[in-house]
Amino acid sequence: MPSETSKSTETLAPLDEALPGPDASGPSHETPDAVATGPREAGAVVGHAKDVGDIEAGLDALQTTVAPTASRWSTAFHAVYPPVLAITILLAVWQSVVWLEVQPIYNLPGPAQVWEAVTRAAASGALWQALGTSLSRGILGFLAAVAIGTPLGILVARVRWVRVSFGPIITGLQVLPSVAWVPAGIIWFGLSDATVYFVILMGAVPSIINGIVSGVDQVPPLYRRVGQVLGAGRFQMIKDVILPAALPGYLAGLKQGWAFSWRSLMAAEIIAVGGGIGFGLGAFLQQGRELSDMALVFTAILLILVVGMVVELLFFAPVEKSMLRRRGLAPETSTSKGPGWLLRRRELAAAAFGR
């Protein structure tokens, strides 16, 4: 009876030894499965396949980064303290400039004076009215721009003559400052919300179109060929192949479209004041200028800045992070208690000492 060592040796025999060579009996065109008819040959094939599978699994494990677990409080702290530190530094620099008296206090108010203006505006209700009006206009205008710009972007990206004819015009519209549309909107629509939404659309739609075109241009041709092989029609090709592959560029276009929407809204609200337009953050800023109240001007500027940051952090940043993670493109970040560079040094030290 053969020993266990000989059995394991036979099982782990190389595939080349298990298969008959060209000098062996039988036709030379047989497949390996057909040739390995004996028990030793079949065992060798199975053992070789198992070894190859183990090696592939090991290589996959080497490429997989296992992030150390961290508590919820630690994760929240490491996410919050960098912006808090940055805000603290900016406030300190601002107050230092005020103390140096580079400008008179009525021209350059400090953080305390601006905070008093914020509390007064919040108590009177003017702050909440301006914030609600501008937010509703910005969100509705941006959604309308997405609904118009998305199909137009697909059309421009997929139809060559449309792209050649209208592509330069769309790029020119994107470069054109949206404030240039405010006088035309006032003449066409009067002092109404239609003027504001018109300016928003003219500022945001070209950015969304160019974002889709850029994303479609970056789709590998292999994806389209695979879709054609699988029998995808024109609509299925766009819906199931091109748009998912062009999602990073599309998302970048949406972010830029929101930025242009918010800027266009502020420009329209600053210039088009009165009538039936209502009171937004732009009118709030204009009111501070007319009253020569720099604390009120700073309050409006900070509110405009905070709204843009909040929308980016609460909507676009999580969506972009989730998309990159699903595609394996997320940057290597550490969610543990220590900084990433310290963890990498610990891992290298442990590997050097064989632990």
Report the predicted TM-score, pTM, of the whole model to 2 decimal places: 0.66
Q: Tell me, yes or no, whether 205 lies in a domain.
A: yes
Q: Tell me, yes or no, whether 219 lies in a domain.
A: yes
The domain in which residue 318 lies consists of 126-326
Q: What is the CATH number of the domain that holds 158?
A: 1.10.3720.10
Q: Tell me, yes or no, whether 313 lies in a domain.
A: yes
pLDDT (mean) for 261-285: 82
Q: Which residue has the higher pLDDT, 13 or 115?
A: 115
Q: Tell me, yes or no, whether 96 lies in a domain.
A: no
Question: Alpha-carbon distance 113 to 106, whole Å?
Answer: 10
Give pLDDT tens digits for 136-183.
999 999 999 999 998 898 888 888 888 888 888 988 888 888 888 888
pLDDT for 333 beyond 50: no
Nearest to 207 by CA among 264, 132, 160, 161: 264
Count of structural domains, the chain: 1
